Each structure stands twice: as structure tokens, then as C-alpha cells.
Amino acid sequence: MFDHNETLEEARERNIREALFEDIGRCDWTAQLVPAHSAVHAQVRVREAAVLCGRPWFEGVFAQLDSKARIQWHYDEGADMAADTVVCDIHADGRALLSAERPALNFLQLLSGTATLTRAHARAIEGHSPNPRGCAVLDTRKTLPGLRLAQKYAVRVGGGANQRLALYDGILIKENHIAAAGGITQALQAAAALQAGVTVQVEVETLAELREALQGGATSVLLDNFSEAQMREAVALNRDSFGTQALLEVSGGVALDQLAWIAATGVDRISIGKLTKDVRAVDYSMRVLGPLAP
């Protein structure tokens, strides 16, 4: 259907182009009220404690409208920001800055929101896992349309890890695939026969299904809506009967206050759709401080 898999850089360029197209179109009429070729100084402030994420998108918006714009950042990408502090100073053409303001801030508020939420979840499991391989918080494919790679990037900035980026990035055998293929064993055999060169994961809903998946050679298993007791049994079954060859991942409506005890069961990964699905933007504002001397 498509000739290649989109890279993060390609996705970012597309994001910026589409954001400017939808917001400016043929002309930003209001920006024309500002005298042409007048340079201004502006600041961006963050109104709440948050993780900074989205600098490349923010900078890219300005670069498209004013190649000479200068942005001085006061926080690194991924830094924890204090509330009511200056995030960056901007020196740019006045018309360009006013046209860039909303698209640039939209990227910053969205990606910072994703990174901030992810960091809270990643910190919630720190020190709780007995697993020698550790335990990681992962995202899912429940992302905003067109912003998949951007949000996946924000999850990494926030301290999480990515589940498969997209359908091209791995095989995830879920209940409908299992039903259509005739069973877990048959689905795993079909996946192996593809020789696709990608990871293969199978979703199970019971311990009996887990046993079948492990006997079928599964190396990555998604435990869907398991109880705490079932998770512990799954870890023991994987370790004692099959030599811990499979990665065990928990999914299914996981809440922040559940993360510590889930990690304590010894599973390898916890995938959480809300990291990218339930978006709450970080509160930023931009203010023009005045014109710059010619």
C-alpha cells in the first residue's frame, strides 16, 4: 500500500506542514496588522509543573515562517519544569511569530502532556520490581490520528518505552486473530512461517492460554486483564516450567495506583493506553514583550 515506513523526521516535517496549512491556509489576516519586517521579543512560560517535550516541533514551526528566528531555551528536552517559569525567549519577525504562536504551542502542550503523564507512571514503578530484567511502562497504538510517532517520541522522553510503533513494526496476535487462525498454536505457527523479521507477541486471557502459548514457543506474551494472583502464577509458570524465555506484559485498564503492585509481581512490561489516548495539555502561554531595535 505504501512504499516505506515513515521515519520520525519525516513525521515531524509532515506534522509541521499540516499544522501550518490547517491554521494559516492562504493568509493569516490578523498578523497583517503588525508592521512588516518588525522584529519582536517574546517569552513562553509554563503555568504548571511539567516535563518539557516538543522542542523540535516548536522550532520547526518557527523555522518554516522565519528562518532567522532565534529561540533561547531555558530547559532541556525532557527536563522537569517548575510552575510559572520561563521556558524560552524568542526573537523573530513579528508577523511570523504571531502566525507561529498557536501551532507551535499546540505541539508543545500536547507532547509535554504525554511526557509528563508518562513520567508519573514510570516513577510509580521505581524500586518495586523483583525482576532482574526490570519492568518498563509502555504505550499502545491508541494515539491521536497523524501524531503517532510524535506521541511515541514523547513517551520515550517521559521515561517510558514503546510498544510496537505500528502494524509494520511487529506481530501482535490478539483474540480475533486467534479465533480466525483456529487457535493460539496455529496463529503462532502462521506468524513463524511469515519470517517477517519483526517481534511476535500473543495475547492470552487465561493461564491455560498462557501455557499453550509458551508450549508453542512464544517469546512475548500479553496478559490481558489478569488479576494480581494470576499475574504471579503467570510469572511462576514462565520461570519454573519454561525457563523464563518469554517476556510477560500486562495490559487492560491499568491505573496509576496499581502500578507498584503490578511491577511487584515480576512481570516485564506494563502497557497503558491512556499515556497517549487520554490527553491533557500542559498549560503554556506566549507573550510579546516588545519590539526589537532595528
Catalytic residues: 102, 142, 174, 203, 224
Question: Order of strands, edge to edge, in the sheet holding 199-204?
Answer: 136-138, 269-271, 247-251, 220-224, 199-204, 170-173
- 3-state SS of 31-58 is HHHCCCCCEEEEEEEECCCEECCCHHHH
Which of 5, 165, 28 minimizes the C-alpha distance to 103? 28
Please classify residue 194 by burial: count the beta carbons closer than 10 Å to its beta carbon, then call 0-12 exposed, 13-18 middle and 19+ buried.
exposed
CB 74 within 8 A of CB 87: yes
Cα separation, 119 vs 73, in Å, equals 21
Which of 161, 137, 159 minimizes the C-alpha distance to 255? 137
